[in-house]
Amino acid sequence: MSLLRAFIAIEIPQQIQHAIHKATSNLRRKLGGSIRWVAPENIHLTLKFLGDIAPAQADALTSILRAQADSVRAFEIEVGKLGSFPDVKRARVLWIGLHAPAELSALSCGIESACTRLGFESETRGYSPHLTIGRVRQDASAVDAQKVRRALEAATIDSLGAVRVDSVHLFKSDLKRDGAVYIRLFSAPLKS
């Protein structure tokens, strides 16, 4: 039996993915190979990373998604602002921020709680909604880290638009030589 590398997420529309790509073009040019950039079509809002799951677990996960989606009304999130984890001075992950209503937090908490009841590891950090756009390479030198810090401090990204969230998805991630390919396994619509 082959395991699936899976996660639960909200899809980001193509026009917002392209707006992010365009808004970060100078940053990508300045930082080049210091960062492993996320392909625009792979930018999404992760709600829960599951790791490797057995195909049989997908059925239980679809039930969870259906129940959680039925409990939350569709909502909008505003996309914009550049940031990094853990902070600008020690950046490891580059992201675009989100301004979201309480519905996103309710959806995330409900999914986290239901997944924990199914035996998935509980997330120890609080949920911080963001769109990952790149990761600093593990072999980055101190000079590279300084370059990243200076570029982040100089960059500004304003509002990139709004996303209407009306469904949540279970994805599998196939790791390929040239990056991950995400395949939607199941979708659950939110309350309208």
The model carries a pTM of 0.93
Percent of the chain with pLDDT over 90: 85
Token readout for 117 is: 């009841």
* Distances in whole angstroms, Cα of residue 28 to Cα of each of 10, 21, 140: 24, 9, 15
Say what the pLDDT of residue 114 is: 96
Range of the domain at 25: 4-189
pLDDT in tens, 55-87: 889 999 999 999 999 999 999 999 999 999 999
Burial label for 145, CB within 10 Å (0-12, 13-18, 19+), is middle
Closest CA to 121 of 48, 13, 37: 48
The CA dihedral of 173, 162, 82, 28, to the nearest 10 degrees, is: 60
Q: Cis peptide before 86, with omega less than 30 degrees from 0?
A: yes
Say what the pLDDT of residue 125 is: 84
Check if the beta carbon of residue 158 is closer than 8 Å to that of residue 177. no
Say what the pLDDT of residue 1 is: 58
pLDDT in tens, 104-113: 999 999 999 9
Say what the pLDDT of residue 53 is: 94
Check if the beta carbon of residue 182 is closer than 8 Å to that of residue 173. yes
Look at the block and give the residue holding tokens 């639960």: 8
Strand pairing of 167-176 and 179-189? antiparallel
Say what the pLDDT of residue 190 is: 97
Say what the pLDDT of residue 170 is: 97
Residues of the chain with pLDDT under 70: 1
Say what the pLDDT of residue 173 is: 94
Token readout for 10 is: 């909200």
Quote the number of domains for the chain. 1
The CA dihedral of 98, 100, 103, 107, to the nearest 10 degrees, is: 10
Q: What is the CATH number of the domain that holds 71?
A: 3.90.1140.10
Token readout for 167 is: 């469904």
User: For 32-107, where are the E strands, in sequence order?
Assistant: 35-37, 44-53, 75-85, 93-99
Say what the pLDDT of residue 177 is: 82
Total residues belonging to the chain:
192
Token readout for 70 is: 């039925």
